[in-house]
Chains A and B, each alone.
Chain A
Amino acid sequence: MSAININFPNGKVNQEYSIELKSVAEQFGIAELNFEGLEDLGLQYDEDEQQITGVPSLAGDHQIVMKYQLKDKQDGQPEFLSKEITLIINPDPKELWKKSIPTPENIAYYKPDSNKEFVKVETKITKKMLGLKQTKEARKDLVAASQRGRSHAIEGKPRDDDFALFFDEASEWYVMTVADGAGSAKYSRKGSEIACQTVIEVCKEQIAAKRAILEKAIRVLSKEQTQENRNAVGKTLYEIVGGAAFKAYKNIDAEVSKRAGENEQEAVAIKDYSTTLLIAICKKFDFGWFIGGFWVGDGGMGIYRKEPEYLKILGEPDGGEYAGQTRFLTMSEIMQAEEIYRRVRFDIVPDFTALILMTDGITDPKFETDANLNRIEKWHQLWRDLEGENEDRLKVDFTDDNEQAADQLLQWLDFWSKGNHDDRTIAILF
């Protein structure tokens, strides 16, 4: 009697499973066939069709017994022979991911598991012609949301991402920043927080001090696009956003010393606070919008216009050969003048639909590759997705002054994407 060698492919909970046994029966000369242990798993064997079908309901390595009768049954053999077969049923990852443990509030540098903000910039009314005529101008608003990833939630670990927004009513400059603390660094949640807070602080102060020079340089550049004029804008922008990044590094470094001083037993280093950083500052002029940015690490930052189509990515994501490799603000090689300058970008555009800053928790599932970040179709898709074209029909309403957008955006962040469960943070100027 030849040994019956048979393997069942693995199944998955809540997913249709079927295996046909006609060919097996023929191959091994089996006259009759039956199974024990299938029903418990949510499967049935159909004798007429000679196949197992059903939707498995129980995950695990299951032993099922195949009872069979050979066509050329030898004398003295039992009526039915039996063989144990292992049937592996995988759990549904969606179910496994449902577990969510709140972050204990007593940990060092506790931060809430999610955050959201809306900065309403109201319609501006300008009086003209000695006050006889007035013009109304709707102004763009800022919205941001940040959600702890499922990979952290399942272990009760804190959110490492952060963001901050700011609008200066006096000068009409907008500042937005997002940061992604490294998953492997124990205090990166504080690193990202310090980075974001510092960016707002420094940009606020530097814009107040340097806006006259910067705005003049921008006006000059808008009239004549020469390298010299570009350099003039670049220089002041470098002082503002580059200065903010540098101060963020310094402030993180100071926190490391403080922590080390307070906890002598604990070894802390700046790499424990590793974080990426994306900064954008912008303002509307009569000739259009000026947008300046600084970017270190992964994620994405771009100026997107739906119609007429326009896309400008304000930098390049820092990636390595392998997944998860990137660069951080906290690396000493980044804090070199040339390296900082290289990461400063700007653009002048007539108008745009959205200026978007995101951490890799969003870019990985929505753009997948670095090349896709430069494809406008992917941005169109993201924008439609944000406007409700998604599985859960979750919609962010981007009408002017809609303060609900923050809540809507936070809900939208909960989207499902296989294998992508990192912290997600997005900031939008629209």
Chain B
Amino acid sequence: MRRLPVYILIQTSGAMRGEPIEAIKVGLETMMASLRQDPFALESVWLSVTTFNRKPEQILPLTELENMQLPAIALPEAAGSHLGEALEFVCKKIDSEVQLSTPERKGDWMPLLFVMCDGRASDTLLFNKVIPVVKGKHFGKIVVCLVGNKVRTELVKLFANEVVNLETTDSATFRKFFEWVTVVVAEGNRSVGATSDISLPPPPPEINSII
């Protein structure tokens, strides 16, 4: 079986407090419910959820969509957003969890990465170091969703294929965003081939796309 690994990285400090994190949780649940209606996704999508503030933590290891249940997302009091460390963490997870093709085993589809954050990295040094590593990982697609009203775009542009900005963090906007993410994921495993990039459907008009 070829798997489509989908990594979700969620910042749990700063901009995420309050309404956003609730909306993300609802959004993820809705997304999983719709993916289960898509036979391709149901048979191939594997999801992993990692949260980060000062430290990254994988709250859901790479799990088959069929068997997965969304764990609770805790919001600690800790401030700080170590985006560099979080990306490095996800890259390491990919090294150990994603299967490459060998003569004896079919490789997975190229992994997808969705990051939800405010675009800030308090660990600048590590962040700069980790960018080439992320670039070398052959993600099918990296989508960053900026949340909050004091977001920074420069840093995330360095590694994302697509950056969307959710200026309003109400649940309706999030719902639109996750509907779009669902399409991207469902599309992800049937479009690889002729080009190295997978084709990405355009985001809905409600979402302010930066790149």
A154 and B44 alpha carbons, distance in the complex (Å): 16
| Interface check B8, CB cutoff 8 A | no
A324 and B189 alpha carbons, distance in the complex (Å): 8
A274 and B193 alpha carbons, distance in the complex (Å): 9
Q: Of B74-82, B102-110, B116-124, which stretch is located at the interface? A: B102-110
Q: For B103, what are the chain A residues with a Cβ–Cβ distance below 8 Å?
A: 369-371
Asked if A90 contacts B66 (CB within 8 A), the reply is yes
The residue in chain B whose Cβ has the minimal distance to the Cβ of A157 is B190
A91 and B109 alpha carbons, distance in the complex (Å): 23
Q: Point out which of B37, B40, B194 has the most chain A C-beta atoms below 10 A from its C-beta.
A: B194
Q: Point out which of B2, B109, B199 has the most chain A C-beta atoms below 10 A from its C-beta.
A: B2
Q: For B106, what are the chain A residues with a Cβ–Cβ distance below 8 Å?
A: 323, 364, 368-369
| Interface check B33, CB cutoff 8 A | yes
Contact of A419 among B1, B38, B105, B198 (CB under 8 A): B1
| Interface check B129, CB cutoff 8 A | no
A267 and B103 alpha carbons, distance in the complex (Å): 38
| Interface check A188, CB cutoff 8 A | yes
| Interface check B168, CB cutoff 8 A | no
The residue in chain B whose Cβ has the minimal distance to the Cβ of A188 is B194
Q: Of A7-15, A31-39, A192-200, which stretch is located at the interface? A: A7-15
Q: For B102, what are the chain A residues with a Cβ–Cβ distance below 8 Å?
A: 369
| Interface check A182, CB cutoff 8 A | yes
The residue in chain B whose Cβ has the minimal distance to the Cβ of A270 is B194
Residues of A302-335 at the interface with B, using a CB-CB cut-off of 8 Å, are: 319-326, 328, 330
Residues of A1-27 at the interface with B, using a CB-CB cut-off of 8 Å, are: 7, 9-10, 12
Asked if B69 contacts A97 (CB within 8 A), the reply is no
The residue in chain B whose Cβ has the minimal distance to the Cβ of A94 is B39
The residue in chain B whose Cβ has the minimal distance to the Cβ of A152 is B190
| Interface check B17, CB cutoff 8 A | no
A321 and B108 alpha carbons, distance in the complex (Å): 8
A10 and B68 alpha carbons, distance in the complex (Å): 8
Interface size on A, residues (CB 8 A): 43
CB of B193 to closest CB in A, whole Å: 4
CB of A26 to closest CB in B, whole Å: 23
Asked if B38 contacts A323 (CB within 8 A), the reply is no
CB of A3 to closest CB in B, whole Å: 12
Asked if A88 contacts B69 (CB within 8 A), the reply is yes
Q: For A90, what are the chain B residues with a Cβ–Cβ distance below 8 Å?
A: 36, 42, 66
| Interface check B149, CB cutoff 8 A | no
| Interface check A388, CB cutoff 8 A | no
Asked if B109 contacts A322 (CB within 8 A), the reply is yes
| Interface check A61, CB cutoff 8 A | yes
CB of B41 to closest CB in A, whole Å: 10
| Interface check A126, CB cutoff 8 A | no
Enumerate 18 A-B pairs (CB-CB under 8 Å) in ascending A order: A91-B37, A91-B42, A96-B39, A96-B42, A182-B193, A182-B194, A183-B191, A184-B190, A184-B194, A184-B195, A184-B198, A272-B194, A322-B100, A324-B109, A328-B193, A370-B103, A418-B43, A419-B1
* Supplied contacts A150-B39, A184-B195, 20 more A-B pairs, CB within 8 Å: A61-B33, A90-B36, A91-B37, A93-B42, A96-B42, A183-B191, A183-B192, A184-B192, A274-B193, A322-B107, A322-B108, A322-B109, A322-B110, A323-B106, A323-B110, A324-B193, A325-B193, A369-B105, A370-B103, A418-B43
